[in-house]
Amino acid sequence: MTDFRIYLTNPVFKTISEIADKEQVKTFVIGGFVRDIILGKTPEEAKDIDIVVVGSGIKMASLVKEKLGKKTSLSVFKNFGTAMVKHGDLEIEFVGARKESYRRESRKPIVENGTLEDDQLRRDFTINALALSLNSKTFGELLDPFQGNEDLKKKIVRTPQNPETTFDDDPLRMLRGIRFATRLGFEIHPETMKAISSTKERISIVSQERITDELNKIIMSDQPGRGFILLEETGLLEIILPELYNLKGVDEVKGIRHKDNFYHTLEVLNNLEQHSDDLWLRWAALLHDVAKPRTKRFEPGIGWTFHAHDFIGAKMIPSIFKRLKLPLNDKMKYVQKLVKLHLRPIVLSQEIVSDSAVRRLLFDAGPEIDDLMILCEADITSKNEKTVRKHLKNFGIVRQKLVEIEEKDHIRNFQPPITGDDIQKVFNIPPSRPIGVIKNCIKDAILDGEIPNEFEAAYGLMLEKGKELGLKAVNQLQAPQD
Protein backbone atom coordinates (compact mmCIF):
# COMPACT_ATOMS: atom_id res chain seq x y z
CA MET A 1 0.00 0.00 0.00
CA THR A 2 1.35 3.42 -0.97
CA ASP A 3 2.48 5.70 1.84
CA PHE A 4 1.37 9.05 0.46
CA ARG A 5 3.27 10.95 3.14
CA ILE A 6 6.36 10.71 0.91
CA TYR A 7 4.66 13.17 -1.46
CA LEU A 8 3.97 15.76 1.25
CA THR A 9 7.57 16.72 2.04
CA ASN A 10 7.23 20.39 1.05
CA PRO A 11 7.46 22.47 4.26
CA VAL A 12 4.24 24.25 3.24
CA PHE A 13 2.25 21.08 4.01
CA LYS A 14 3.74 20.91 7.52
CA THR A 15 2.77 24.56 8.08
CA ILE A 16 -0.80 23.93 6.92
CA SER A 17 -0.98 20.78 9.06
CA GLU A 18 0.10 22.62 12.22
CA ILE A 19 -2.46 25.38 11.67
CA ALA A 20 -5.21 22.84 10.88
CA ASP A 21 -4.51 21.00 14.15
CA LYS A 22 -4.40 24.21 16.17
CA GLU A 23 -7.70 25.40 14.67
CA GLN A 24 -9.18 21.89 14.95
CA VAL A 25 -10.25 22.02 11.29
CA LYS A 26 -10.14 19.07 8.88
CA THR A 27 -7.93 20.06 5.97
CA PHE A 28 -6.95 18.22 2.78
CA VAL A 29 -4.90 18.65 -0.37
CA ILE A 30 -7.11 17.67 -3.28
CA GLY A 31 -7.36 17.52 -7.05
CA GLY A 32 -4.63 17.89 -9.65
CA PHE A 33 -1.69 17.78 -7.23
CA VAL A 34 -2.79 14.41 -5.88
CA ARG A 35 -3.64 13.06 -9.34
CA ASP A 36 -0.31 14.08 -10.83
CA ILE A 37 1.94 12.75 -8.05
CA ILE A 38 0.17 9.38 -8.23
CA LEU A 39 0.83 9.42 -11.99
CA GLY A 40 4.53 9.97 -11.34
CA LYS A 41 5.03 13.71 -11.28
CA THR A 42 7.46 14.75 -8.57
CA PRO A 43 6.12 17.02 -5.79
CA GLU A 44 8.73 19.61 -6.83
CA GLU A 45 7.14 19.82 -10.30
CA ALA A 46 3.67 20.50 -8.88
CA LYS A 47 3.29 24.27 -8.52
CA ASP A 48 -0.50 24.50 -8.22
CA ILE A 49 -1.94 23.13 -4.98
CA ASP A 50 -5.63 23.04 -4.03
CA ILE A 51 -6.54 22.87 -0.34
CA VAL A 52 -10.06 22.12 0.87
CA VAL A 53 -11.03 22.96 4.43
CA VAL A 54 -14.10 21.73 6.28
CA GLY A 55 -14.67 25.27 7.47
CA SER A 56 -13.46 28.63 6.19
CA GLY A 57 -10.90 28.42 3.38
CA ILE A 58 -10.32 32.18 3.56
CA LYS A 59 -9.50 32.07 7.28
CA MET A 60 -7.11 29.16 6.78
CA ALA A 61 -5.38 30.99 3.92
CA SER A 62 -4.95 34.10 6.08
CA LEU A 63 -3.37 32.08 8.89
CA VAL A 64 -1.05 30.27 6.48
CA LYS A 65 0.04 33.55 4.89
CA GLU A 66 0.81 35.00 8.33
CA LYS A 67 2.82 31.92 9.30
CA LEU A 68 4.82 31.77 6.04
CA GLY A 69 5.98 35.37 6.42
CA LYS A 70 6.77 38.45 4.36
CA LYS A 71 7.63 36.78 1.03
CA THR A 72 4.11 35.39 0.80
CA SER A 73 1.10 37.12 -0.78
CA LEU A 74 -2.61 36.63 -0.16
CA SER A 75 -5.52 37.28 -2.52
CA VAL A 76 -9.07 36.87 -1.21
CA PHE A 77 -12.10 36.25 -3.45
CA LYS A 78 -15.04 36.65 -1.08
CA ASN A 79 -17.70 36.17 -3.76
CA PHE A 80 -16.34 32.69 -4.42
CA GLY A 81 -15.34 31.87 -0.85
CA THR A 82 -11.75 31.21 -1.95
CA ALA A 83 -8.30 32.63 -1.31
CA MET A 84 -4.94 32.28 -3.05
CA VAL A 85 -1.60 32.19 -1.25
CA LYS A 86 1.52 32.68 -3.38
CA HIS A 87 4.71 31.45 -1.76
CA GLY A 88 7.81 31.35 -3.93
CA ASP A 89 6.77 29.58 -7.12
CA LEU A 90 3.83 27.86 -5.43
CA GLU A 91 0.21 28.93 -5.86
CA ILE A 92 -1.97 27.47 -3.13
CA GLU A 93 -5.73 27.90 -3.41
CA PHE A 94 -7.89 27.47 -0.30
CA VAL A 95 -11.62 26.77 -0.38
CA GLY A 96 -14.18 25.63 2.16
CA ALA A 97 -15.74 22.19 1.56
CA ARG A 98 -19.07 22.71 -0.16
CA LYS A 99 -21.89 21.12 -2.03
CA GLU A 100 -23.40 22.64 -5.12
CA SER A 101 -26.67 22.76 -7.01
CA TYR A 102 -27.29 24.39 -10.38
CA ARG A 103 -29.98 26.32 -12.21
CA ARG A 104 -30.41 24.97 -15.71
CA GLU A 105 -29.72 28.25 -17.47
CA SER A 106 -26.42 28.95 -15.70
CA ARG A 107 -23.04 27.40 -14.93
CA LYS A 108 -22.90 29.36 -11.65
CA PRO A 109 -23.72 27.01 -8.78
CA ILE A 110 -25.75 27.62 -5.65
CA VAL A 111 -23.22 26.85 -2.93
CA GLU A 112 -23.75 25.50 0.60
CA ASN A 113 -21.26 24.39 3.24
CA GLY A 114 -20.64 20.66 3.07
CA THR A 115 -18.47 17.72 4.04
CA LEU A 116 -15.32 16.56 2.29
CA GLU A 117 -17.33 13.91 0.44
CA ASP A 118 -19.83 16.56 -0.69
CA ASP A 119 -16.89 18.49 -2.07
CA GLN A 120 -15.45 15.44 -3.83
CA LEU A 121 -18.85 14.59 -5.30
CA ARG A 122 -19.16 18.06 -6.90
CA ARG A 123 -15.85 17.67 -8.76
CA ASP A 124 -15.71 16.91 -12.46
CA PHE A 125 -13.96 13.53 -12.53
CA THR A 126 -12.99 10.84 -10.06
CA ILE A 127 -9.30 11.32 -10.87
CA ASN A 128 -9.64 14.95 -9.75
CA ALA A 129 -11.54 14.08 -6.55
CA LEU A 130 -8.67 12.37 -4.73
CA ALA A 131 -7.75 13.95 -1.38
CA LEU A 132 -4.90 13.53 1.11
CA SER A 133 -5.40 14.46 4.75
CA LEU A 134 -3.12 17.15 6.19
CA ASN A 135 -4.15 16.79 9.86
CA SER A 136 -1.33 15.26 11.90
CA LYS A 137 -3.19 12.13 13.12
CA THR A 138 -4.19 11.11 9.58
CA PHE A 139 -1.40 12.91 7.66
CA GLY A 140 -1.09 11.50 4.13
CA GLU A 141 -4.20 9.31 4.36
CA LEU A 142 -5.95 8.95 0.97
CA LEU A 143 -9.67 9.81 0.89
CA ASP A 144 -11.10 8.26 -2.27
CA PRO A 145 -14.85 7.51 -1.98
CA PHE A 146 -15.36 7.33 -5.77
CA GLN A 147 -12.45 5.00 -6.68
CA GLY A 148 -10.44 7.67 -8.47
CA ASN A 149 -7.18 5.83 -7.71
CA GLU A 150 -8.54 2.73 -9.48
CA ASP A 151 -9.52 4.89 -12.45
CA LEU A 152 -5.96 6.23 -12.56
CA LYS A 153 -4.62 2.68 -12.70
CA LYS A 154 -7.12 1.72 -15.39
CA LYS A 155 -6.52 5.02 -17.26
CA ILE A 156 -10.17 5.99 -17.28
CA VAL A 157 -11.89 9.38 -17.17
CA ARG A 158 -15.18 9.00 -15.27
CA THR A 159 -17.48 11.30 -13.29
CA PRO A 160 -18.09 10.85 -9.52
CA GLN A 161 -21.87 11.06 -9.97
CA ASN A 162 -24.31 10.44 -12.82
CA PRO A 163 -22.44 11.85 -15.84
CA GLU A 164 -25.53 13.42 -17.38
CA THR A 165 -26.06 15.36 -14.15
CA THR A 166 -22.38 16.38 -14.10
CA PHE A 167 -22.44 17.71 -17.67
CA ASP A 168 -25.91 19.19 -17.47
CA ASP A 169 -24.83 21.16 -14.39
CA ASP A 170 -21.58 22.42 -15.94
CA PRO A 171 -21.20 21.64 -19.66
CA LEU A 172 -17.59 22.87 -19.75
CA ARG A 173 -16.74 19.60 -18.02
CA MET A 174 -17.39 17.80 -21.31
CA LEU A 175 -14.44 19.60 -22.89
CA ARG A 176 -12.34 19.17 -19.77
CA GLY A 177 -12.96 15.42 -19.90
CA ILE A 178 -11.79 15.26 -23.51
CA ARG A 179 -8.79 17.41 -22.63
CA PHE A 180 -7.78 15.12 -19.74
CA ALA A 181 -8.21 12.01 -21.88
CA THR A 182 -6.02 13.58 -24.58
CA ARG A 183 -3.35 14.91 -22.26
CA LEU A 184 -3.09 11.77 -20.11
CA GLY A 185 -3.66 9.20 -22.85
CA PHE A 186 -6.73 7.88 -20.98
CA GLU A 187 -10.00 6.44 -22.27
CA ILE A 188 -13.33 8.09 -21.44
CA HIS A 189 -15.65 5.68 -19.63
CA PRO A 190 -18.43 4.49 -22.00
CA GLU A 191 -21.23 5.91 -19.83
CA THR A 192 -19.37 9.21 -19.53
CA MET A 193 -18.81 9.29 -23.30
CA LYS A 194 -22.48 8.55 -23.92
CA ALA A 195 -23.49 11.36 -21.57
CA ILE A 196 -21.29 13.88 -23.41
CA SER A 197 -23.06 12.98 -26.65
CA SER A 198 -26.53 13.24 -25.13
CA THR A 199 -25.88 16.60 -23.43
CA LYS A 200 -23.64 18.19 -26.09
CA GLU A 201 -26.15 20.97 -26.90
CA ARG A 202 -25.68 22.30 -23.35
CA ILE A 203 -22.28 23.63 -24.45
CA SER A 204 -24.22 26.65 -25.75
CA ILE A 205 -24.40 28.16 -22.23
CA VAL A 206 -20.60 28.17 -21.89
CA SER A 207 -18.74 31.34 -22.85
CA GLN A 208 -16.70 31.18 -26.03
CA GLU A 209 -13.58 32.22 -24.13
CA ARG A 210 -13.80 29.15 -21.87
CA ILE A 211 -14.46 26.85 -24.82
CA THR A 212 -11.48 28.24 -26.74
CA ASP A 213 -9.24 27.95 -23.68
CA GLU A 214 -10.00 24.21 -23.60
CA LEU A 215 -9.42 23.92 -27.37
CA ASN A 216 -6.03 25.56 -26.94
CA LYS A 217 -5.11 23.10 -24.18
CA ILE A 218 -6.16 20.17 -26.37
CA ILE A 219 -4.10 21.55 -29.27
CA MET A 220 -1.08 21.86 -26.98
CA SER A 221 -1.33 18.23 -25.81
CA ASP A 222 0.89 15.43 -27.06
CA GLN A 223 -0.84 13.84 -30.06
CA PRO A 224 -3.64 16.45 -30.03
CA GLY A 225 -5.42 14.82 -32.95
CA ARG A 226 -6.96 12.30 -30.57
CA GLY A 227 -8.74 15.12 -28.75
CA PHE A 228 -10.40 16.25 -31.98
CA ILE A 229 -11.44 12.69 -32.77
CA LEU A 230 -13.18 12.57 -29.36
CA LEU A 231 -14.79 15.95 -30.06
CA GLU A 232 -16.09 14.57 -33.36
CA GLU A 233 -17.29 11.28 -31.87
CA THR A 234 -19.29 13.08 -29.18
CA GLY A 235 -20.86 15.59 -31.58
CA LEU A 236 -19.18 18.59 -29.96
CA LEU A 237 -16.92 19.37 -32.89
CA GLU A 238 -19.82 20.08 -35.24
CA ILE A 239 -21.09 22.66 -32.75
CA ILE A 240 -17.89 24.45 -31.76
CA LEU A 241 -15.71 24.14 -34.88
CA PRO A 242 -17.95 23.21 -37.84
CA GLU A 243 -15.31 24.21 -40.39
CA LEU A 244 -13.09 21.36 -39.17
CA TYR A 245 -16.03 18.95 -38.90
CA ASN A 246 -16.97 19.69 -42.53
CA LEU A 247 -13.67 18.21 -43.68
CA LYS A 248 -14.93 14.78 -42.65
CA GLY A 249 -16.01 12.22 -45.21
CA VAL A 250 -14.99 10.73 -48.54
CA ASP A 251 -16.80 11.17 -51.85
CA GLU A 252 -16.54 8.77 -54.77
CA VAL A 253 -17.23 9.31 -58.47
CA LYS A 254 -16.59 6.59 -61.07
CA GLY A 255 -14.62 4.62 -58.51
CA ILE A 256 -12.31 7.56 -57.75
CA ARG A 257 -12.14 8.69 -54.13
CA HIS A 258 -10.33 11.47 -52.31
CA LYS A 259 -8.76 11.10 -48.89
CA ASP A 260 -10.69 11.99 -45.74
CA ASN A 261 -9.37 15.50 -45.14
CA PHE A 262 -10.49 15.51 -41.50
CA TYR A 263 -8.25 12.60 -40.53
CA HIS A 264 -5.49 13.89 -42.81
CA THR A 265 -5.59 17.23 -40.95
CA LEU A 266 -5.28 15.47 -37.59
CA GLU A 267 -2.29 13.51 -38.88
CA VAL A 268 -0.67 16.79 -39.93
CA LEU A 269 -1.35 18.24 -36.46
CA ASN A 270 0.14 15.17 -34.77
CA ASN A 271 3.18 15.25 -37.07
CA LEU A 272 3.76 18.92 -36.35
CA GLU A 273 3.38 18.43 -32.60
CA GLN A 274 6.60 16.41 -32.66
CA HIS A 275 8.55 19.38 -34.04
CA SER A 276 6.97 22.50 -32.53
CA ASP A 277 5.18 23.60 -29.38
CA ASP A 278 4.05 26.89 -30.94
CA LEU A 279 0.29 27.23 -30.40
CA TRP A 280 -0.25 29.33 -33.52
CA LEU A 281 1.72 27.03 -35.78
CA ARG A 282 -0.48 24.20 -34.49
CA TRP A 283 -3.58 26.28 -35.29
CA ALA A 284 -2.20 26.75 -38.80
CA ALA A 285 -1.85 22.98 -39.12
CA LEU A 286 -5.42 22.49 -37.89
CA LEU A 287 -6.83 24.99 -40.38
CA HIS A 288 -4.50 24.61 -43.37
CA ASP A 289 -7.07 22.68 -45.47
CA VAL A 290 -10.17 24.34 -44.00
CA ALA A 291 -11.44 25.51 -47.41
CA LYS A 292 -11.33 22.09 -49.08
CA PRO A 293 -15.09 21.43 -48.64
CA ARG A 294 -15.84 24.72 -50.42
CA THR A 295 -13.43 24.08 -53.29
CA LYS A 296 -13.96 20.34 -53.87
CA ARG A 297 -14.71 19.46 -57.49
CA PHE A 298 -14.58 16.28 -59.57
CA GLU A 299 -13.02 16.95 -62.96
CA PRO A 300 -13.26 14.18 -65.59
CA GLY A 301 -9.85 12.98 -66.63
CA ILE A 302 -8.23 14.63 -63.61
CA GLY A 303 -10.11 13.46 -60.52
CA TRP A 304 -10.81 15.38 -57.34
CA THR A 305 -9.46 18.91 -57.15
CA PHE A 306 -9.41 21.60 -54.47
CA HIS A 307 -8.29 24.58 -56.53
CA ALA A 308 -7.52 27.78 -54.56
CA HIS A 309 -8.25 26.16 -51.18
CA ASP A 310 -5.11 27.89 -49.90
CA PHE A 311 -6.32 31.39 -50.83
CA ILE A 312 -9.94 30.80 -49.79
CA GLY A 313 -8.80 29.16 -46.56
CA ALA A 314 -6.72 32.23 -45.73
CA LYS A 315 -9.79 34.42 -46.24
CA MET A 316 -11.76 32.24 -43.81
CA ILE A 317 -9.28 32.63 -40.95
CA PRO A 318 -10.43 36.09 -39.67
CA SER A 319 -14.07 35.01 -39.29
CA ILE A 320 -13.05 31.78 -37.53
CA PHE A 321 -10.74 33.65 -35.16
CA LYS A 322 -13.40 36.26 -34.47
CA ARG A 323 -16.05 33.65 -33.62
CA LEU A 324 -13.66 31.67 -31.41
CA LYS A 325 -12.52 34.86 -29.63
CA LEU A 326 -8.94 34.18 -30.68
CA PRO A 327 -6.69 37.25 -31.03
CA LEU A 328 -7.33 39.35 -34.14
CA ASN A 329 -3.77 40.62 -34.28
CA ASP A 330 -0.42 39.42 -35.57
CA LYS A 331 -1.24 35.87 -34.33
CA MET A 332 -4.21 35.70 -36.68
CA LYS A 333 -2.18 37.19 -39.55
CA TYR A 334 0.54 34.60 -38.91
CA VAL A 335 -1.95 31.72 -39.19
CA GLN A 336 -3.55 33.34 -42.23
CA LYS A 337 -0.17 33.69 -43.91
CA LEU A 338 0.81 30.06 -43.36
CA VAL A 339 -2.56 28.80 -44.62
CA LYS A 340 -2.19 30.94 -47.73
CA LEU A 341 1.38 29.78 -48.45
CA HIS A 342 1.23 26.13 -47.40
CA LEU A 343 1.17 24.78 -50.98
CA ARG A 344 4.09 26.84 -52.26
CA PRO A 345 6.99 24.74 -50.88
CA ILE A 346 5.12 21.56 -51.91
CA VAL A 347 5.01 22.77 -55.52
CA LEU A 348 8.73 23.63 -55.39
CA SER A 349 9.55 20.16 -54.01
CA GLN A 350 7.86 18.50 -56.98
CA GLU A 351 9.49 20.60 -59.72
CA ILE A 352 12.93 21.79 -60.71
CA VAL A 353 13.66 24.50 -58.17
CA SER A 354 14.54 27.79 -59.85
CA ASP A 355 16.33 30.56 -57.99
CA SER A 356 13.51 32.94 -58.92
CA ALA A 357 10.82 30.73 -57.37
CA VAL A 358 12.87 30.35 -54.19
CA ARG A 359 13.42 34.12 -53.97
CA ARG A 360 9.70 34.75 -54.29
CA LEU A 361 8.92 32.19 -51.60
CA LEU A 362 11.47 33.79 -49.29
CA PHE A 363 10.02 37.22 -50.02
CA ASP A 364 6.39 36.18 -49.45
CA ALA A 365 7.07 34.05 -46.35
CA GLY A 366 9.60 36.41 -44.78
CA PRO A 367 10.47 35.49 -41.18
CA GLU A 368 7.84 32.71 -41.22
CA ILE A 369 9.73 30.63 -43.81
CA ASP A 370 11.08 28.13 -41.26
CA ASP A 371 7.66 27.56 -39.71
CA LEU A 372 6.15 27.21 -43.18
CA MET A 373 8.64 24.45 -44.00
CA ILE A 374 7.82 22.65 -40.73
CA LEU A 375 4.12 22.79 -41.63
CA CYS A 376 4.72 21.52 -45.17
CA GLU A 377 6.84 18.61 -43.98
CA ALA A 378 4.14 17.71 -41.45
CA ASP A 379 1.66 17.76 -44.36
CA ILE A 380 3.24 14.58 -45.79
CA THR A 381 0.86 11.89 -44.53
CA SER A 382 1.14 9.10 -47.10
CA LYS A 383 0.97 5.53 -45.77
CA ASN A 384 3.67 4.67 -48.33
CA GLU A 385 7.00 5.11 -46.54
CA LYS A 386 8.85 5.30 -49.86
CA THR A 387 6.67 8.25 -50.92
CA VAL A 388 7.23 10.00 -47.58
CA ARG A 389 11.01 9.56 -47.86
CA LYS A 390 10.95 10.89 -51.41
CA HIS A 391 8.99 14.02 -50.46
CA LEU A 392 11.15 14.68 -47.39
CA LYS A 393 14.27 14.35 -49.54
CA ASN A 394 12.82 16.87 -52.00
CA PHE A 395 12.00 19.24 -49.16
CA GLY A 396 15.60 18.88 -48.02
CA ILE A 397 16.67 20.17 -51.45
CA VAL A 398 14.27 23.11 -51.13
CA ARG A 399 15.61 23.89 -47.64
CA GLN A 400 19.19 23.88 -48.92
CA LYS A 401 18.21 26.14 -51.80
CA LEU A 402 16.51 28.52 -49.35
CA VAL A 403 19.71 28.76 -47.32
CA GLU A 404 21.87 29.37 -50.40
CA ILE A 405 19.60 32.06 -51.88
CA GLU A 406 19.16 33.81 -48.53
CA GLU A 407 22.92 33.94 -47.93
CA LYS A 408 23.44 35.39 -51.40
CA ASP A 409 20.49 37.73 -51.85
CA HIS A 410 19.18 38.49 -48.31
CA ILE A 411 15.53 38.20 -49.33
CA ARG A 412 13.96 36.91 -46.09
CA ASN A 413 13.59 40.38 -44.54
CA PHE A 414 13.67 42.15 -47.86
CA GLN A 415 14.17 45.91 -47.80
CA PRO A 416 14.42 47.45 -51.29
CA PRO A 417 17.70 49.26 -52.05
CA ILE A 418 15.62 52.14 -53.41
CA THR A 419 12.71 53.51 -51.36
CA GLY A 420 9.68 55.52 -52.39
CA ASP A 421 11.27 58.61 -50.79
CA ASP A 422 14.37 58.06 -52.91
CA ILE A 423 12.29 57.97 -56.10
CA GLN A 424 10.48 61.20 -55.12
CA LYS A 425 13.81 62.99 -54.53
CA VAL A 426 15.45 61.83 -57.76
CA PHE A 427 12.53 62.82 -59.99
CA ASN A 428 11.23 65.63 -57.77
CA ILE A 429 7.65 64.31 -57.85
CA PRO A 430 4.93 64.03 -55.17
CA PRO A 431 3.52 60.69 -53.99
CA SER A 432 1.93 59.21 -57.11
CA ARG A 433 1.35 56.05 -59.15
CA PRO A 434 4.77 56.07 -60.93
CA ILE A 435 6.52 55.60 -57.58
CA GLY A 436 4.69 52.30 -56.99
CA VAL A 437 5.36 51.19 -60.57
CA ILE A 438 9.12 51.80 -60.20
CA LYS A 439 9.29 50.13 -56.77
CA ASN A 440 7.51 47.01 -58.07
CA CYS A 441 9.74 46.94 -61.13
CA ILE A 442 12.86 46.94 -58.91
CA LYS A 443 11.40 44.32 -56.55
CA ASP A 444 10.44 41.96 -59.40
CA ALA A 445 13.83 42.37 -61.09
CA ILE A 446 15.62 41.41 -57.87
CA LEU A 447 13.31 38.44 -57.17
CA ASP A 448 13.62 37.21 -60.75
CA GLY A 449 17.41 37.45 -60.58
CA GLU A 450 17.65 40.09 -63.31
CA ILE A 451 19.63 42.42 -61.04
CA PRO A 452 21.42 41.85 -57.71
CA ASN A 453 19.89 43.11 -54.49
CA GLU A 454 22.24 46.11 -54.48
CA PHE A 455 21.88 49.89 -54.60
CA GLU A 456 23.78 50.60 -57.84
CA ALA A 457 21.87 48.04 -59.91
CA ALA A 458 18.54 49.19 -58.47
CA TYR A 459 19.45 52.85 -59.05
CA GLY A 460 20.21 52.18 -62.71
CA LEU A 461 16.92 50.35 -63.20
CA MET A 462 15.05 53.18 -61.47
CA LEU A 463 16.48 55.73 -63.94
CA GLU A 464 15.67 53.45 -66.87
CA LYS A 465 12.08 52.84 -65.74
CA GLY A 466 11.58 56.52 -64.90
CA LYS A 467 12.62 57.46 -68.42
CA GLU A 468 10.04 54.99 -69.84
CA LEU A 469 7.39 56.72 -67.71
CA GLY A 470 8.41 60.15 -68.97
CA LEU A 471 10.16 61.23 -65.78
CA LYS A 472 13.35 63.27 -65.73
CA ALA A 473 16.00 62.83 -63.04
CA VAL A 474 16.81 66.17 -61.43
CA ASN A 475 18.67 64.98 -58.32
CA GLN A 476 21.28 62.35 -57.53
CA LEU A 477 21.42 59.87 -54.64
CA GLN A 478 24.45 58.51 -52.84
CA ALA A 479 24.61 54.81 -52.05
CA PRO A 480 23.89 54.22 -48.32
CA GLN A 481 26.98 53.60 -46.21
CA ASP A 482 27.30 50.29 -44.38
Among left, alpha and beta (phi > 0; psi -120 to 50; other), residue 303 is: left
* Angle, helix 369-378 to helix 355-365, in steps of 10 degrees: 110
List, for residues 47-75, the tens digit of each pLDDT value.
889 999 999 999 999 999 999 987 899 99
Q: Which helix (H) or strand (E) holds 303?
A: strand 303-305
Q: Is residue 101 part of a domain?
A: yes
Range from 102-106, 231-235, 250-254, 374-378 carrying the lowest mean pLDDT: 102-106
pLDDT number for residue 422: 93
What CA–CA distance (Å, rounded) separates 159 from 123?
Answer: 8
SS3 410: coil
Assigned domain for 407 exists: no
DSSP conformational letter for 126: G
Query: What is the extent of the structural domain holding 208?
Result: 155-240
Structure confidence by residue, pLDDT tens digits, 418-460: 999 999 999 999 999 999 999 999 989 988 889 988 899 999 9
Query: Has residue 130 got a pLDDT over 60?
Result: yes
pLDDT at 45: 78
Q: Give tens-digit pLDDT for 346-364.
A: 877 766 677 888 888 888 8
Report how far residue 234's alpha carbon sits from residue 218's, in angstroms, rounded to the nearest whole number. 15
The predicted pLDDT at position 196 comes to 98
**Number of separate domains in the chain:** 3
Q: How many Å apart are CA 342 and CA 346, to the nearest integer?
A: 8
Do 34 and 72 fall into the same domain?
Answer: yes
Per the CB < 8 A criterion, the answer to whether 461 and 424 are in contact is no
Predicted pLDDT of residue 482? 59
Distance, CA of 180 to CA of 184 (rounded, Å): 6
Residue 369 counted as domain residue: no
DSSP class per residue in 142-178? EE-TT-HHHHHHHTEE--SS-HHHHHHH-THHHHHHH
Mean pLDDT of 154-174: 95
CATH of the domain at 236: 1.10.110.30
| Other CB atoms within 10 Å distance of the CB of residue 342 | 24
Q: Terminal CA-to-CA distance of the chain, rounded, Å?
A: 72
**pLDDT tens per residue across span 295-348:** 999 999 899 999 999 999 999 999 999 999 999 999 999 999 999 999 988 877
pLDDT of residue 328: 95
Provide the whole-model pTM: 0.87
For 197-221, what is the mean pLDDT? 97
The share of the chain scoring above pLDDT 90, in percent, equals: 71
Same domain, 56 and 90: yes
Among 153, 179, 197, identify where a domain stops: 153
Among 240, 266, 286, give the residue marking a domain's end. Answer: 240
In a domain? residue 302: no
pLDDT beyond 70 at 398: yes
For 78-216, list the strands marked E by DSSP: 82-87, 90-96, 98-102, 109-113, 131-133, 142-143, 156-157, 187-188
